[in-house]
Amino acid sequence: MTTGPLSGIRILEVGTMLAGPYATMLLSDLGAEVTKLEPPTGDISRRVGDAYFASLNRGKRSVVVDLTSEAGQAKLGELVAGAHALLVNLKPSAIRRLGLTYDVLKRFNERIVCVAVTGFGMDEEEKPAFDYVVQATTGVASLTGDPGGPPTLPGYSAADNSTGLTAAFGLLAQIVSGRGGQIEVSLRDVMLSQLNYRASAYLNDGAVPQRRRGGAHPYYVPAQLFPTAEGHLALFVTHDGFWASFAAEAGIAGFPTMAERAERRDEVLEAVTRALAGDTARGWEARLLPLGVPAAAVRTLPEALAESPDAIVTAGGFRLIGSPIRVAGYEPDHGPPPRLGEHGGRP
């Protein structure tokens, strides 16, 4: 078995809750040595619950460092001198106050990569910035839900998770460059980036985004959730070949081109809804997948996990979702989440 692709890379984390710890856990899964620098009271996510903390911190080390003290700052310098990167997710004022920027830390290590994960950016007005707040601020919530209902949030932390992924990518990019430096990643910028084609349609064509029933795609028709005789079906028809196969199976005539289906959206959706009422979501999935038509019955999380046992790992007695990055010949060592101060500076 090979070692992880990030074996030998040492990363420090001053992280709380989700975005920062998720970023560094992904890097740990790939073989990096990640050390959490925690205050004497610990990362506040420890108080959410053991399973919550484990889901974001497996395989890491924990060192207690009071960064507000002179001794803590001296310890920070020692750790930075031997590290490749430091990832922080705190308010900009706290990041500066605690000296967690490249400008401050380069005296210990000119090649240190400092990643600041914030809500709106290091130089923007400092406002409370949590996942749901950012989804509201960036327009994501306004695009989610049925047109006649209220704005809706997804059932998981989309902004925090997406920002964690982006921060890990930025950190690695700067390490590969061989240069130290400051990296900034904000929840706001990440979520706006993920609105790519929606934002482009407005910025270039003045097309104001609107919510559609069933989460319908603005361009592809039919591409949304549909009710069936039992359960809901996600159908995603992105080209005419998919439509031809689906329409033949569903007994629908006409609408052969994407342009026509987009122009006659309401008629298409009425015909599809009527046809899908003739079978269950699971039944349609079984009929359409062999034809190559993208379709899936909506599952609950327990159902999805039962069907994906290979995605589940065990780490220190906790059953968790493993890394989404699978490297041939390498199996991550899913260590337990660290006890507070387990690797130094016990409170």
List active site positions. Answer: 160
Instruction: With beta carbons less than 8 A apart as the criterion, state whether 23 and 96 touch.
Output: no
Find, among 301, 272, 296, 268, the residue nearest to 284 by Cα.
296
SS3 content of the chain, % helix, strand, coil (to 5): 40, 15, 45
The 8-class DSSP code of residue 265 comes to H
CA separation for the pair 132, 138 (Å, rounded): 10
CA separation for the pair 167, 43 (Å, rounded): 19
Unique residue bearing structure tokens 């046809």: 275
Q: How big is the chain by its Cα radius of gyration, in Å?
A: 24
Helix (H, G, I), strand (E, B) or coil at 227: strand
Element (H, E) at 146: none
